Structure 1
Amino acid sequence: MRDGCRVAGMVLKWAGLLAALSGCVGSACAMFLWLLDHAAATRLAHPWLLYGLPVAGVTIGLLYHWFGRTTEGGNNLIVDQIHEPGGGVPLRMAPLVMAGTVVSHLFGASVGREGTAVQMGGSIASAIGRLCRLRDPDEVRVLLMSGIAAGFSAVFGTPVAGAVFGLEVLRVGRIEYGALLPVMFAATMADWVCHAWGIEHVPYTLRFHGYAGLDGRFFHADMLLLAKVMVAGVAFGLASLLFAESVHRVAAWLRRFCPTPWLRPAIGGVLTIALVWICGSRDYLGLGIAAPEDGGASILNFFGPAHYPLAWAWKLVFTVAVLAAGFKGGEVTPLFFIGAGLGNALSAWLHAPVDLLAGVGFVAVFAGAANTPLACTLMGVELFGAADIVYFAMGCFMAYACSGHSGIYLAQRIGVPKRRAAKYLTGMTLRQARAGYQPPTPAAPSQTGRKTSP
């Protein structure tokens, strides 16, 4: 009887915690997406706003310099707090990152929205944990993971992928199954709340559903096409690696070149204006889901018959310029653009269906950059349907294997190394792996069988 009451109390406690978290995160994401839509519409109506991007960048930099120094870690701060709960995630991270991202999009920075949603989810989860006086580090971890899942799910409309992302993003090669039910509940409820506010997500159309066999029936995999997807998967993984390393290396160079943090975004703004003049197009500003002009490069147009051979490379350069300089937002939607654009370009070389390779690239480049192949496979199913799941899985798994021990979240810890020869990386963060950190070697035993003194 006593055990039954204890279990019932725990269920009620977590139901209340997760309901409050989901309602807050879903509502915050709904407001955020509504503001983004209006910011994008305003920018398209007033193209001259692009020239204010350097000033907007400095404004964001000063905002964080004055009020948000403890939140500068962004997504990595949340992942660090999950691994080693300590001071928590400041609540002010949510309004700061939302304001910074909306301003970035208003003036044309090529940033995404996932980082903002995840950071809002993490900061709200941490605040609820403090309000409810959660003391158990394991409970704090579960609540933060649920916040990540809720933010990701609500901003993309993919509850299953959001739940798995919240479990998979913490460790490379390993999933935290202990929090499966809470993150699934939070992801589903946050998506529902966001939808209840009237937010609709962009529908993507993938018409390819397989080739008919001699008997007229469709089978789930064509071996030749699957081989082509594997080849494309290698390219997607290398693109993931190129993107992640470019952001990290350019950011490090900018820190040396301009030691003042709040001035660095001005450099990114000037670079963006110069890139627009060089390429002669505004297609690579903002999210890039729809093109500002008919026939322009965009995620939606990559699924059509037109080919865009270099659009993915331009988007990569535009995004690296602003993220490395310190603009707020995220990497995921630009990674969707890069992946779909690269798939569109590769389809002509591989003689494969354009929309299929665009869809596989859409999720695979993100899978390689975030080291979350299972979440991205499920995202492909939720966005495009289950008919092509074999191709989504093959593309995501190949990209994950080929992207190396790098990624956009350097606080990720390596649970299972991608190469057998890299077992020594187990337990390290990606930041340590990139820096060439070597674990201490155990002391060699002496001739008497005892360990030598240090």
Structure 2
Amino acid sequence: MVQTFFWSPLLFMPAGFALLAYCCKRYFPGSQGSGIPQTMAAMDMTGAEKRSTLLSARIAAGKIFSTLAGLCIGASIGREGPTVQIGASIMHMFYGRGPFQSAETRRILILAGGAAGISAAFNTPLAGIMFAIEELSKKHVFNANSSTLVTVIVSGLISLSLLGNYTYFGSSGASLDWHSGLAAILLCGTVGGLAGGIFSRLLIAGSFSLPRRMAVFVKDRPVLFAALCGLLVAILGVCTHGLIFGTGYEPTRLTLEGRDTLPWYFGLAKLAATLVSSMSGIVGGIFAPSLAVGAGIGDNLADLFPGLATHGAMVMLVMAAYLSGVTRAPVTSFIIMMEMTNSHQMLLPLMAASVIASGASKLVCPTALYHALAKKFSHFGDGDYPMDRHIQETRERNREITSSDATGEYVKEKK
């Protein structure tokens, strides 16, 4: 459709975003957004009761359908965040059956399912384990229990049997000497981390710190707000000739392989499209789009500083750094980058850039993104988002002002 009518996204994307937002709110509440914050919130719930407001078969089915539909209409989203919630939902179904009765067992099931989701999404089993340790279990002690390891191994084997032993971005021959490439590591780690921190700060602000009138509008008119977000993404897509649509896999792989250079605006446009897509209320992850943003920024740095390192090395460093800046999970970031590009020779530079990026991101955004967003779902099912209290106070204040004005007019008229 886009190749035939370049302007067609201006029509079908607002309608698609609105439809997906309506379906999520009406039929699959709790499935909105990435899925990782919901999984964290479900792990943090106290007590041994079986909660299905965030993890259930209905949510898993809705997550699969909504993610595929969002990718089909061109939303700037990924599938790895949703697979975490899907995996956690599948494992959560076993809770309350057989030996899976305690609250601790429930957390282990959720942890194993989330790790398996990351493992199967990109064929990156090591990253799945590290994600479970670094992100999902930050508030809980992680034990190298057999349940998590076996679940990740089985999910990886099933993925291999269905899709084969593939590397997501192919094999990269990029390398970087530790001594001569120190300046490149510092530059890429700092720039990628600051950019990732800015994205996290903006997304958190869009979730919790909107102006009161806008917050009320988003709460009362979520479908209309999603349509406006779809229109913004469509405009960005039309202006960039469709480069920012979807996960960004194709342009990222081309620039990693050195077969194509990205336009200077790709990184910024992809960041904006991912931010708007994430704020819209539709289902979708941010891992894959974040890697695309990092590739765009890395391509810019490689052009600005051609003598620091090879093009491929600069792009890979910024990809890992930006993902680390967004997620505040440096170990997961450099491992997932190494596994996705089969670049074991870049292990130490990727590790250093990711750690630097995590520190730089803290300067811009002190709160980790997923842990901040998990607060939106911490009381899900007992009311609604924490922003609702802020909105409710605004409405009550407006009613008081209206009532006092009406009373004043009545008294004046009587006098």
- Quickly name the TM-score band, shorter chain normalised: 0.7 to 0.9
> Which residue in the other structure is 2:245 paired with?
285
Q: Report what 1:225 is aligned to.
A: 181
Q: 1:412 and 1:272 mapped to 2: Cα distance? A: 22
Q: Quick one: which of 305, 320, 333 aligns to 2:288?
A: 333
Q: Which moved more, 1:50-59 or 1:150-159?
A: 50-59
Query: Does the CA contact (< 8 Å) of 2:299 and 2:314 recur in 1?
Result: yes
* Aligned residue type for 1:93: I
Which residues of 2 match residues 181-260 of structure 1 at below 5 A?
Answer: 181-198=146-163, 200=166, 202-210=168-176, 221-252=177-208, 253=210, 255-258=215-218, 259-260=220-221
Question: Among residues 327, 330, 354, which one is paired with 1:396 in the alignment?
Answer: 354
In 2 relative to 1, CA 149–49 (structure 1 residues): closer, same or farther, beyond 3 Å? farther
Counterpart residue type for residue 340 of structure 2: L
5+ residue gaps, structure 2: 375-385, 391-415
> For 2:95, what is the secondary structure of its paired residue?
helix
Partner residue in 1 for 2:406: none
Q: SS in structure 2 opposite 1:290?
A: helix
Distance 1:133 1:269, change over 3 A: farther
Q: 1:335 to 1:382 in 2, by over 3 A?
A: same
User: CA 1:49/1:113 → structure 2, altered by over 3 Å: closer, same or farther?
Assistant: farther
Aligned to 1:166: 132
Q: What is the aligned partner in structure 2 of residue 323 from structure 1?
A: 278
Aligned-pair distance for 1:48?
6.8
1:7-26 alignment, distance < 5 Å: none
Q: Per the alignment, do residues 80 and 175 of structure 1 end up closer, same or farther by CA in structure 2, a change over 3 Å counting?
A: closer
Is 1:300 paired with 2:267? no
1:361 and 1:347 mapped to 2: Cα distance?
10
Shift of 1:94: 0.8
Q: What's the counterpart of residue 325 of structure 2? A: 368
Q: Please state how far the C-alpha of 1:377 moved relative to its aligned partner.
A: 1.9
Distance of 1:275 and 1:64 partners within structure 2 = 24
Partner of 1:83: 44
TM-score in terms of structure 2 length: 0.78
Q: Which runs of 5+ in 1 are unaligned?
A: 1-41, 211-220, 292-297, 414-430, 436-454
For CA contacts below 8 A with separation 6 or more, give which structure has more relative contact order.
2
Which amino acid in 2 is paired with 1:227? A
Residue identity matched to 1:381: M
Check the 8 A contact 1:53/1:107 in 2, yes or no: yes
| Other-structure match for 1:213 | none
Size of the aligned set, in residue pairs, is 358
Distance 2:299 2:76 in 1: 20
Task: Say whether 1:142 aligns with 2:98.
Answer: no
- Structure-2 separation of matches of 1:412 and 1:317: 18
The answer to whether the 8 A contact 2:32-2:283 is kept is: no
Aligned position for 1:116? 82
Which amino acid counterpart does residue 410 of structure 1 have in structure 2?
Answer: H
What's the secondary structure of 1:402's corresponding residue? helix
Change (3 A) 1:102 1:80: same
Q: Structure 1 313/68 Cα, relative in aligned 2: closer, same or farther at 3 Å?
A: same
SS of residue paired to 2:105: helix
Mapped contact 1:290–1:300 kept (Cα < 8 A) = yes
Partner of 2:371: 410
Change (3 A) 1:175 1:70: closer
TM-score, normalised relative to structure 1: 0.72
- In structure 2, relative to structure 1, the CA distance for the partners of 1:49 and 1:274 (3 Å cut) is closer
Residue of structure 1 equivalent to 2:222 = 261
- 3-state DSSP of counterpart to 2:180: helix
For 1:340 and 1:209, locate their aligned partners in 2 and report how far apart those are by CA, in whole Å. 16
Aligned to 2:383: none
Kindly tell me: are residues 179 and 139 of structure 1, through their superposed partners in 2, closer, same or farther at Cα, counting changes over 3 Å? farther
The amino acid across from 1:317 in the alignment is A
Provide Cα deviations, 1:197-247, integer angstroms capped at 9, x if missing partner.
23655333322234xxxxxxxxxx432312321121011111111111222
Residue 69, structure 1, aligned to residue 25, structure 2: no
**Residue identity (%):** 21
* Cα offsets for 1:268-294 (capped at 9, x unmatched): 1111122234x3421000111114xxx
CA distance in 2 between counterparts of 1:338 and 1:250 reads 19
Q: Which residue of 2 aligns with 1:419?
A: none
Aligned-partner residue type, residue 73 of structure 2: F
Given the superposition, is the C-alpha separation of residues 383 and 202 from structure 1 closer, same or farther in structure 2, using an over 3 Å criterion? Answer: closer
